[in-house]
Structure 1
Amino acid sequence: MSSRVRIVGGGLTGILAAFEAHRLGSRDITIQERFEALGGVARPKIIHGAEMRDGCVYFGGAGDAIVETLTAHGARFETFDNRFGSLSTGADGKRVFTWDFGGPAIDAPAGKVGRPADDSLAARLAAYPPQIAATLESYVRWHLETDPALIHGEAAIPLAINRVFPAAADLAALASAKANDPWADELYAIPRGLSGRTANVTAALPAGGFAKLFDGLHGALTRLGVKVELNCLVPPRQLMAQDDPEETIVWAANPTPLFKPMGLSTPSLVKKSFFTYVYAVEAFDGPCPVYVQNFTAQGATFRAYLYESGGQTLVVAECVREADLKTLPTELRTLLSGFGALKLGPVVHSDAQPRWIYHSRAAIDGLAALRGKLTERFGGQFIPGAWEPYAKSAKLAEVNAALAMARQATPARVAKAG
């Protein structure tokens, strides 16, 4: 690795990259963050001492690599019983609640599945039997309001439809199919309570909340000698014009601004804004935290997440469109009814913002082209911040591997991009 490491973006990916670069031996590390505090999109707003979380964000339980890394640098986590469920529509049109499963449960047998014909989400859906495929397509169109043929198949993960429970299946036969057919294992699931699996039984949240976590990590970085520059917007063209073989760059921020400086057209993205509404909870007789996914393709809410912060119990409705506040409380009560009776207080926060977690096929192809150009220009000294993977663990593994390779690489710079 070069003697200096510059990390653009002070979200979780950038913070973890700084800790790993330090572990690998670098002692001249700078994080540049455009906002006034570290944390990126995972840092919530604070209102009356409580965090207004825009969605369901938590860490894995025992053995989680991210938790272990952050704990080694002073962070504290609290484990909890990981409770979740989903609401789907049965063959008779009635709502069906499935406990301990965050994906869709479709009232259909486990018909034969195959390898998707291409890398699109449409092809992934078409790999299922027709009844399941049609149900999933309706959900995708409700959620994203776009053609699944334009979306990359990996978007099934953030959409939570990467595995389906065929509720009319014989469970023993389904378990056998999953054990013997890799595509059946990839596309089908058996809920935790029906399979006897113990994975995901516990999860973790930062003690005191996410804002406290990131402020503590800022202090830990400073104690290691990492320079943290806040309110620092890095101009991509200026960065691309530099030719410093002694500096490794980790771009942990949004990659969109890099396309034009590298002579590439910016690919078309999934332009979708989501609306969030946080309610105070007056009473709930179920577990906390807990979340429920909505796969009925009805209403506005695709996920309800109930949590505690600042001594208050709150529930956030993540919505595919602007919600009707007259009907939204009923949606939330229905979604969480499988776990307990919910009594809501007032709305304490609402927000609307785009999310870039659903990649189009054009975006995935564009990112591959961008990686190629960056490699031509910088060799291994420019490290993309694991832009494509959705899972935090996959991002960590990819960036750590790239940092390890950069440590061994000989700096190589070629002609500047136009």
Structure 2
Amino acid sequence: MKRIKIVGGGFTGILAAFQAHRLGARNIELHERLDRLGGIALPEVNNGREMREGCIYFGPEGDPIRSLLEQHGAVFKDFDNRFGSVSPGPDGPVYTDDFGGPALPGSKARLHPLDGNNLGDRLDCYEDALAFPLARYVRWHVGCAPSQLHASAADPLAINRVFATGAPLEALSEAKRLDGHANALFGIPRSMWDYSNNVQASLPVGGFTALIDQCRSALCSIGVDINQRSLARPANVLGEVSSDDVLVWAASPMPLFKAVGLEAPKAPAKKFATYTFEVNWTGPAPFYAQNFTATGSCFRVYIYESGGAKLLTAECVYEAEGDELAEDIHLLLDGFEGELTIGGLLYRSIKPRWLYHTVDTMDKLGGLRMVLMDRLGDNFVPGAWEAYAKGEKFTEVEAGLQKALGTGMIAKAS
């Protein structure tokens, strides 16, 4: 039986250990450079309340990731998945319930063909009434032209699907049903066409801290050798892989470039600010609202419950505190059900994010994969470096492990 060595104890690495065990592996090592597991999924805790950066949740009952975690003792609670977006309109912001993407005054249910692999090429598929405000939003959010980003950056930017508010609903619905290109680029608020796939979602009972603690306990119980404060030096790790080993690199791939003699892509220069407040909120929770107006500081607010309190996390494209930030938060929520009173600031963080891949980054990650697969073959499993959605990461790692271990069918995650 092959030894599975997993580098990176974030959520991808934790799931990879469970996946490898389910596929029959019993000699599994997990290496994490920090003194804790969980990576970015493990929030800071302030007086028993979790300071969650970003809007992370799981699928309803039957979701493969949730099911795998439940098999190892995790407990989840379902909730009504409520969200909305704020988009620019001729007379001010336009609020759209049940839709997390931009709602813009386009009138055509037709698209140009996709010609190229950058985000600018993707936006050029739309008519100008959609493409221009989308390009403005990208520059506001990331600080660069859409042509510098890979087309896949549409997903973390939440502009992968656009609702053309001036197009006939019947024409949009038909285009989405009949044309895969249109289905990938157009969206419709779920309440307007009986879309129910994401009506229910779930969160771990006790929060993400309890989930990671449960995962650690479960990993130990199935015999996974957890090594914290373990700095896996790429050159050494790669040199130690034998035909009886499978290496899963679930950590950042950046250190691997030097180890194999390739030029690394530049790290993202844009930093984002995150603020968490205790709030009084009479609307639904959890709830998030995304800002596509390309104005103000805040691109998303997320309201959730933790430690017996309601908290609001504001994610911002630049530092903005005090009255400016409060006004931006209220602007995002004023058009939705619920009244908001903002209390004290509990948490503040300013850091870059490895989310918005450039064309250069994607090309170089592809080159890195080719070199490592050529050197190690199926014994090397990348940690789904390019993917944004956790379901996509889960499926990609599952496919790599199955190939390395020679096992059956792939379980897809939503």
2:45 counterpart of 1:9: no
| Alignment partner, residue 411 of structure 2 | none
| Alignment partner, residue 217 of structure 1 | 215
Deviations 1:313-361 (A, max 9, x none): 1000000111132211121122122121100101111001111011111
Q: How does 1:45-194 map to 2 (within 5 A)?
A: 45-90=44-89, 92-194=90-192
SS at match of 2:13: helix
What CA distance in whole angstroms lies between the structure 2 residues aligned with 1:243 and 1:286? Answer: 53
SS at match of 2:50: strand
SS at match of 1:265: coil
| Alignment partner, residue 284 of structure 2 | 287
| Alignment partner, residue 206 of structure 1 | 204
What CA distance in whole angstroms lies between the structure 1 residues aligned with 2:179 and 2:398? Answer: 32
| Alignment partner, residue 268 of structure 1 | 266
What CA distance in whole angstroms lies between the structure 2 residues aligned with 1:196 and 1:241? Answer: 54
Query: Does the Cα contact within 8 Å between 1:111 and 1:128 map onto a contact in 2?
Result: no
2:286 counterpart of 1:254: no
2:55 counterpart of 1:26: no
Query: Does the Cα contact within 8 Å between 1:333 and 1:341 map onto a contact in 2?
Result: no
| Aligned partner (choices 378, 381, 398) of residue 380 of structure 1 | 378
What CA distance in whole angstroms lies between the structure 1 residues aligned with 2:402 and 2:128? Answer: 45
Q: State the TM-score, normalized to the length of structure 2.
A: 0.96
What CA distance in whole angstroms lies between the structure 2 residues aligned with 1:267 and 1:176? Answer: 41
| Alignment partner, residue 325 of structure 1 | 322
Query: Does the Cα contact within 8 Å between 1:237 and 1:261 map onto a contact in 2?
Result: yes
What CA distance in whole angstroms lies between the structure 2 residues aligned with 1:227 and 1:93? Answer: 59
Query: Does the Cα contact within 8 Å between 1:270 and 1:356 map onto a contact in 2?
Result: yes
Query: Does the Cα contact within 8 Å between 1:87 and 1:98 map onto a contact in 2?
Result: yes
What CA distance in whole angstroms lies between the structure 2 residues aligned with 1:174 and 1:24? Answer: 42
SS at match of 2:237: helix
- How many residues get paired? 406
| Aligned partner (choices 358, 361, 367) of residue 360 of structure 1 | 358
| Alignment partner, residue 314 of structure 1 | 311
Whichever residue aligns with residue 19 of structure 1, its letter is F
Query: Does the Cα contact within 8 Å between 1:111 and 1:129 map onto a contact in 2?
Result: no
What CA distance in whole angstroms lies between the structure 2 residues aligned with 1:58 and 1:7? Answer: 24
Query: Does the Cα contact within 8 Å between 2:106 and 2:127 map onto a contact in 1?
Result: no
What CA distance in whole angstroms lies between the structure 2 residues aligned with 1:315 and 1:395? Answer: 27
Whichever residue aligns with residue 11 of structure 1, its letter is G
Deviations 1:40-70 (A, max 9, x none): 1111000111001111111111221100000
Seen in structure 2, the aligned counterparts of structure 1 residues 246 and 323 have a Cα distance that, compared at 3 Å, is: same
Shift of 1:232: 1.3
SS at match of 2:395: helix
Shift of 1:144: 0.3
What CA distance in whole angstroms lies between the structure 1 residues aligned with 2:180 and 2:2? Answer: 44
SS at match of 2:401: helix
Whichever residue aligns with residue 270 of structure 2, its letter is K
What CA distance in whole angstroms lies between the structure 2 residues aligned with 1:210 and 1:304? Answer: 19
Shift of 1:269: 4.1
What CA distance in whole angstroms lies between the structure 1 residues aligned with 2:187 and 2:269? Answer: 30
What CA distance in whole angstroms lies between the structure 2 residues aligned with 1:29 and 1:173? Answer: 52
Whichever residue aligns with residue 405 of structure 1, its letter is K
**RMSD, aligned CA:** 1.2
SS at match of 2:184: helix
SS at match of 1:60: coil
Whichever residue aligns with residue 302 of structure 2, its letter is Y
Deviates more, 1:81-90 or 1:263-272: 263-272
Whichever residue aligns with residue 347 of structure 2, its letter is H
What CA distance in whole angstroms lies between the structure 2 residues aligned with 1:166 and 1:3? Answer: 52
Whichever residue aligns with residue 12 of structure 2, its letter is T
Unaligned runs of 5+ in 2: 408-414
SS at match of 2:294: coil
Whichever residue aligns with residue 273 of structure 2, its letter is F
Query: Does the Cα contact within 8 Å between 1:268 and 1:360 map onto a contact in 2?
Result: no
What CA distance in whole angstroms lies between the structure 2 residues aligned with 1:19 and 1:111? Answer: 44
| Alignment partner, residue 414 of structure 1 | none
Query: Does the Cα contact within 8 Å between 1:269 and 1:359 map onto a contact in 2?
Result: no
| Aligned partner (choices 229, 232, 241) of residue 230 of structure 2 | 232
SS at match of 1:59: coil
What CA distance in whole angstroms lies between the structure 1 residues aligned with 2:266 and 2:44? Answer: 30
Q: State the TM-score, normalized to the length of structure 1.
A: 0.95
